[in-house]
Amino acid sequence: MSVIKEVKAELRHFMKTCLEKVSAEETKQQSEAVCRKVTDSKWFQDSKRISIYVSTTGEIQTDSIIDTALKMGKEVFIPQFTKGSTAMEMVRLPDQKSFYSLPSTLWGIRQPDPSWTWESYHISGPLDLILAPGVAFTPDGLRCGHGKGYYDRFFSTHSSNFPLKSPLRIGLALRQQIIKNIPVSETDIQLDDVIYEGEKIVTDGFMEISK
């Protein structure tokens, strides 16, 4: 295992311990603040085609962003994972009823059943905005995911499919997920921005304990 992979594995373990201490009430409060920042932003309001992750535990909860986007008439695309595949599909969410009827499947993530033939984003064109999850972020957009590489490959595939259109890539984070530094490899793609409640870096002890 490379040094970068080792440090990232340590970081994921460290963040798991940190996030286990965040109560459901605090997650809800931070999520509401982040969601307001997102939906009030000009870049969100100007975007017509949006990819949004469907949240699970230990993440900023995105249900209200998805609900708002659908009410505004935006085209909303959500991840679809297939067991054994290294690729993540991004498919169009038909409506609010379909969203609230999503089954919980792989890793407890709500997503369309693999047998559902929802339209993939690349059939109808490029995206304007991608709201991405992660395990940890730096304020300037470095991101550590869960280690499967789904989002980095998705960013790369979008660039290959639509080289003339680069969507805005935004990470959504709890304060506890913001750290000072994240080791990156050549396949890691930096985000354009990270949205979280407040401005202060809270979780700043990882690099000290990992040395």
Note the pLDDT of residue 68.
98
In the three-class reduction of DSSP (H, G, I as helix; E, B as strand; rest coil), residue 53 is classed as coil
Residue 32 known to bind ligand: no
132 is annotated as contributing to ligand binding: no
**Is 146 assigned to a binding site?**
yes
Is there a binding annotation on residue 134? no
Q: Is 75 annotated as a binding residue?
A: no
Fold of 3-209: Rossmann fold (3.40.50)
* pLDDT in the model for residue 2: 85
Whether 92 has a binding-site annotation, put simply, is no
pLDDT of residue 208: 38
How much is the pTM? 0.92
Answer whether 164's CB lies under 8 Å from 78's CB. no
Pairing type for strands 88-92 and 75-81 reads antiparallel
Give the pLDDT score at 200. 60
The answer on whether 158 is annotated among ligand-binding residues is no
- Bridge-based pairing state of the strands 136-137 and 143-144: antiparallel
9 is in an annotated binding site: yes
Under DSSP, the state recorded for 176 is G
151 is in an annotated binding site: yes
202 is known to lie in a ligand binding site: no
Using DSSP, state whether 60 is helix, strand or coil.
coil
- The pLDDT value recorded for residue 104 is 87
> Does 165 belong to an annotated binding site?
no
Average pLDDT across each block of 10 residues of the chain; the chain has 211 residues. List them in order: 87 95 96 98 98 95 98 97 82 94 86 88 96 96 93 96 96 96 92 89 50 35
- 84 marked among binding-site residues: no
Q: Is 73 annotated as a binding residue?
A: no
Q: Does 54 count as an annotated binding residue? A: yes
Closest CA to 86 of 131, 152, 7, 2: 152
Residue 146: C-alpha distances to residues 9, 48, 58, 133 (Å): 9, 28, 12, 9
